[in-house]
Amino acid sequence: MCLFATLVSTIFLLNSCRENKLSEESPVRFTDLPSSQTGINFNNAIIENDSVNLLVNEYTYMGSGVGVGDFNNDGLPDVFFAATQSRAKLY
């Protein structure tokens, strides 16, 4: 069993050491748009104190979440932002 684990580990290590070649022409998938163009102005500001900090809750800075769907049935995608300490917003 020890020989098998050593063999698998060695193969994995040698395989991961090869050079990664990225394609020169990678397509642009996302474009950063300003809030003046999108109409979305959201900031998940977190105010730290003794009970809200990274040491007490390690998930504080991971955010609350984003949902996209047609919530008002107008045929357009709506964006819902949940916030950690402030109010959630629907755009």
pLDDT tens readout for residues 12-25: 887 777 676 666 67
Confidence of residue 89 (pLDDT cuts 50, 70, 90): very high
**Other CB atoms within 10 A of residue 79 CB:** 16
Smallest Cα–Cα separation from 40: which of 79, 72, 70?
A: 79
**Tokens (6 digits) for 52:** 């809200």
**pLDDT digits over 36-67, tens only?**
998 988 888 888 888 888 888 887 778 788 99
The whole model's pTM is what?
0.57
Smallest Cα–Cα separation from 66: which of 75, 85, 76, 79?
A: 79
